[in-house]
Amino acid sequence: MRLGPAARRQQVHLVTQARRPMSEDIRYRQNRYLLMMGIRLVLFIAALIMFVNHLGWLAGIPAVGAIVIPYIAVVFANGGREPNNVRGFMEYRMNLPAHREPSGSSEDGNGSSGAN
């Protein structure tokens, strides 16, 4: 039986271990960076409002967050592509030699090799 062109087009090939395209990876890192910068902006505005309302040292909490977040965001943005571990999780197995019986023992366990 011969398949026509319509039947050949319906075949679906899945590539589960393929890496994401570079453009998609860059877009993902840019979006993550922009999200972190948005959080930084909110923290900066909160620190400014708290400082204006004379909340003293409490204004320092969001200010510290607004100072630290850019460094973390840059590390994440420049981190490169995600690792492609295609093997997945591998459990640790000790490589021990096979268990052998001592060479001089017999089945009855008394250690004598001859008959009495």
Average pLDDT for residues 65-85, to the nearest whole number?
82
Model confidence pLDDT, tens digit, residues 18-67: 667 888 888 988 999 999 999 999 999 999 999 999 988 898 999 999 99
The answer as to whether 66 is a domain residue is yes
The answer as to whether 55 is a domain residue is yes
The answer as to whether 57 is a domain residue is yes
The answer as to whether 48 is a domain residue is yes
Q: Nearest Cα to 78, choosing from 30, 23, 24, 21?
A: 30
Work out the pLDDT band at 104, boundaries 50, 70, 90: low
User: What are the phi and psi torsion angles at 49 (to 5°)?
Assistant: -65, -40
Residue whose tokens read 């965001």: 73
Average pLDDT for residues 7-12, to the nearest whole number?
58
The answer as to whether 33 is a domain residue is no
pLDDT of residue 34: 94
Q: How far apart are CA 51 and CA 56, in angstroms?
A: 6
Count how many domains the chain has: 1
What are the CA-CA distances from residue 39 to residues 26, 34, 56, 58 (Å)? 20, 9, 22, 18
Q: In terms of residue numbers, what domain contains 54? A: 40-77
Q: How far apart are CA 65 and CA 85, in angstroms?
A: 33
The mean pLDDT value of the chain amounts to 76
